[in-house]
A = this chain, B = another copy of it.
Amino acid sequence: MPKSTELTADRVAAAYDALMSLDRDRALEYWTEDVRFQMPGNHHQAGWHEGLDAYLASTAKLIEACGGVMKSETLDVLVDAGKGITLDVYRISGKRGHAPEGVSSPYDFLAIEGAHLLRWRDGRVYEGRGGLFGDGATRANLWWSPVGDDGRRTGI
């Protein structure tokens, strides 16, 4: 019988679920307390978030910026259990909470795909990095920016 912390695609999915729940105790089953995670781009949530609390706060900010609604999918997960490394392909979409349904401007609507690299120890992630395909980094910068398509400043 496998240990419950065996490194599998399911465990990767469970780790993201725990993170997105914003439940610190649940997250601690999959992420170490001093995990560092690098968000790509140069917007105000970009860079290395040091510690689970900082990473949870940034995740909460993302959900908040989407008006509480956000779609996150894990498309493929590759595991090297021996090295303690996983790489997963993800897709995130969401519109800024203040924007109307169906908006397509990259200042208001985020649609990005990329790959996460996670490093695991004893069943928990201690380091992660998010990468972006295509022009996702510029799109993330515009989406996170305080300016809308018309140049007005918006919340968050």
CB distance from A53 to the nearest CB of B (A): 13
Copy tally for this chain in the complex stands at 4
Chain A interface bracket (under 10, 10 to 19, 20 to 34, 35 or more): 35 or more
Q: Does A152 contact B (CB under 8 A)?
A: yes
Once A131-B115, A133-B38, A145-B43 are accepted as A-B contacts, the answer to whether A78 and B89 lie under 8 Å apart by CB is: no
- How far apart sit A15 and B133, CA to CA, in the bound complex (Å)? 20
Residues of B within 8 A of A47 (CB): 134, 145-148, 151-153
Nearest B-chain residue to A87, judged by Cβ: B87
- How far apart sit A50 and B152, CA to CA, in the bound complex (Å)? 9
A83 and B87 contact, CB distance less than 8 A: no
Nearest B-chain residue to A141, judged by Cβ: B42
A–B pairs, 13, beta carbons within 8 Å:
A38-B133, A42-B138, A42-B142, A43-B145, A44-B146, A48-B151, A78-B78, A78-B79, A131-B131, A131-B136, A135-B142, A135-B145, A136-B137
Q: Does A35 contact B (CB under 8 A)?
A: no
